Amino acid sequence: MGDAVVSARMRKNFENIHAHYDLSDEFFGLFQDPSRIYSCAYFEPAELSLEQAQYAKVDLHLDRLAPEPGMTVLDIGCGWGATLKRAVERHDVNVVGLTLSRNQHAASTALLDAVDTDRSRRVLLTGWEDFDEPVDRILSIEAFEHFGFERYDEFFAKCYDILPAGGRMTIQTSISYHPEEFRARGIPLSIDVLKFIKFMITEIFPGARLPSTQMLWTHAERAGFTVDEVVSLREHYVKTLTLWGDALEANRDAAVAIQSQTVYDRYMKYLRGCAQKFADEYIDVLLVTYAKD
């Protein structure tokens, strides 16, 4: 019975990820920069290009992890592989990537196979639930939104168990607030906002849920982690989403040809709408650093 439950759960996770991330690499390429990094960039300094800002974000994580040569770095939700490649090239480490997307698995494997290094590079088509190998550092960039509230304790316990004493982990995730928090901050929670949230979790990221800031503390500390640092990247996501929207809009004809007018309209609604919600402070995005003392 236990195996059947886990199998059914993972099947649903795979389906949710495929629904978005396996839409079409060609379609995503119309608005991504050459790195293919699909998460909030870090525009510091402000004049960085989107590609430069994406690598600046990756470096923000890697600098906080401070991996030493020969260590093993795990990327949970590794996307198209650019973060893993950066870790190998900048820090001379072994890397393991986890993804539930077949397209991302193929692309990231090919990207890492081309790196000139003797270090181990692996990308596994599996979730964190089925990964039990010891690693030295963990990072997860905007995959946490897909894990589900009911699995946070399990996730943090797993990460704590596979890290050594002195191990470090970074998580970057969008977060939202309880209705009472919106009221306390004087931000109206209108019907239009609620409709947009429903649109996002049904038509763009099926099954996704945004944690609260408190959840990122409580569940991690329950597992034994110490929260070392929390950085908000909200303004950087406004710029990232705006640039993605501008790029997709500039490639409208190609987008419609690759997918359809319906898909193009859906993604423009998502990119423009999210940029506005971050700007209006309905949502934030945090980079949290954890330590296993």
The residues that are catalytic are 274
Helix H or strand E segment including 74: strand 72-76
Is 152 marked within a binding site?
no
Is 39 marked within a binding site?
yes
Phi, psi of 86 (to 5 degrees): -60, -40
Instruction: Return the closest-CA partner of residue 85 out of 77, 94, 76.
Output: 94
Is 75 marked within a binding site?
yes
Is 62 marked within a binding site?
no
Is 77 marked within a binding site?
yes
Is 102 marked within a binding site?
yes
Is 252 marked within a binding site?
no
Interacting residues of 277 by C-beta distance below 8 A, sequence separation 6+: 193, 196, 283
Is 59 marked within a binding site?
no
- Alpha-carbon distance of 112 to 108, in angstroms, equals 6
Is 100 marked within a binding site?
yes
Separation in Å, CA 223 to CA 28, 33, 73, 173, 214 = 36, 37, 20, 19, 14
Is 16 marked within a binding site?
no
- Position 34: which residue type? P
Give the side-chain half-sphere CA count within 13 A for 19: 16
Sign of CA dihedral 175, 176, 178, 181: positive
Is 52 marked within a binding site?
no
Binding region for S-adenosyl-L-methionine? 38-39, 73-81, 99-104, 128-129
Binding region? 38-39, 73-81, 99-104, 128-129
